[in-house]
Amino acid sequence: MTAGRRSLIGADNRRMLGKLVVVTAAMFGFGYALVPMYRSICEALGINVLSLSEQRIATGNWSGRASAGNTQVDSTRLITVEFDANARGPWDFKPAQRTVQVHPGQLMTVEYEFRNVQNRTMAAQAIPSYAPRQASPHFNKLECFCFSEWTLAPGESKRWPVSFVIDPKLPKDVTTITLSYTFFEVGGKVPQEPKGEVGT
């Protein structure tokens, strides 16, 4: 191979190497440019997820725009919700608070307390009821211990949440709702109701 041809091949290789270096640098640059481009596009479209500031996360304002109030809440009405507990068996069962006031459409969470005072493990479940009856379809429970059957060891205590929303379509004449739970043992012997003394 002549010296001129070797020189020509070497020049071609150097040009090819130079082109590869430029292309590689351009690819890296484009990759780094994608991040701010992606963030800008997401912010413009209001679908930003990756570049949220801590303040947005803390306030729950995920879009980066001014947060609007919950339009489902009827702030012109207050409903009193009373909580009741009935236990068919030797255990303690009661609401942590007896009453709350809530706007229709507002999410509310309360708790019920339970303690198995028996010296044996038991399985139990609660059944809800509502008063007045017409409030029932408007009382929406999102989380409730009544959805499941529970097994409790002797002496075990539990606190269970009930999260609910009252439908704003609740009739206007209903201002008080009573949520009552009857807690009974599953598969166990339900004690008889206490009888009054005879002959007094």
The 3-class SS string of 10-65 reads: HHHHHHHHHHHHHHHHHHHHHHHHHHHHHHHHHHHHCCCCCCCCHHHHHHCCCCCC
> Are residues 102 and 148 located together in one domain of the fold?
yes
CA distances from 32 to 24, 25, 28 (A): 13, 11, 6
Residues in the chain predicted with pLDDT less than 50, given as ranges, are: 48-69, 189-200
Contact 179, 139 (CB under 8 A): yes
Residue 101 pLDDT: 96
Same domain, 95 and 151: yes
Q: Look at residue 50 and tell me if it is in a domain.
A: yes
Distance CA 110, CA 157 (A): 17
pLDDT score for 71: 57
Q: How far is 188 from 118, CA to CA, in rounded Å?
A: 13
Q: Which domain holds residue 39?
A: 3-59
Task: Answer yes or no: do 97 and 129 share one domain.
Answer: yes
pLDDT of amino acid 4: 62
Q: Cα torsion at 78, 69, 59, 56 (round to 10°)?
A: 170
Greatest CA span in the chain, whole angstroms? 133
Quote the pTM value: 0.56
Q: Are 123 and 174 in the same domain?
A: yes
Considering the domain architecture, whether residues 89 and 14 belong to the same structural domain is answered as no
Same domain, 89 and 37: no
Number of structural domains found in the chain: 2
Kindly state whether residues 110 and 157 are assigned to the same domain: yes
The residues with which 144 forms a beta bridge, in sequence order, are: 162
Residue 91 lies in a domain: yes
**Domain-located, residue 87:** yes
Strand order in the sheet with 176-185: 99-102, 79-88, 176-185, 122-131, 150-152
Give yes or no: residues 148 and 116 share one domain.
yes
| pLDDT of amino acid 193 | 40
Query: Cis before residue 191, ω within 30 degrees of 0?
Result: no
With contact defined as beta carbons under 8 Å apart, do 113 and 93 qualify?
Answer: yes
* Residue 60 pLDDT: 42
For residue 121, the Cα-to-chain-centroid distance in whole angstroms is 30
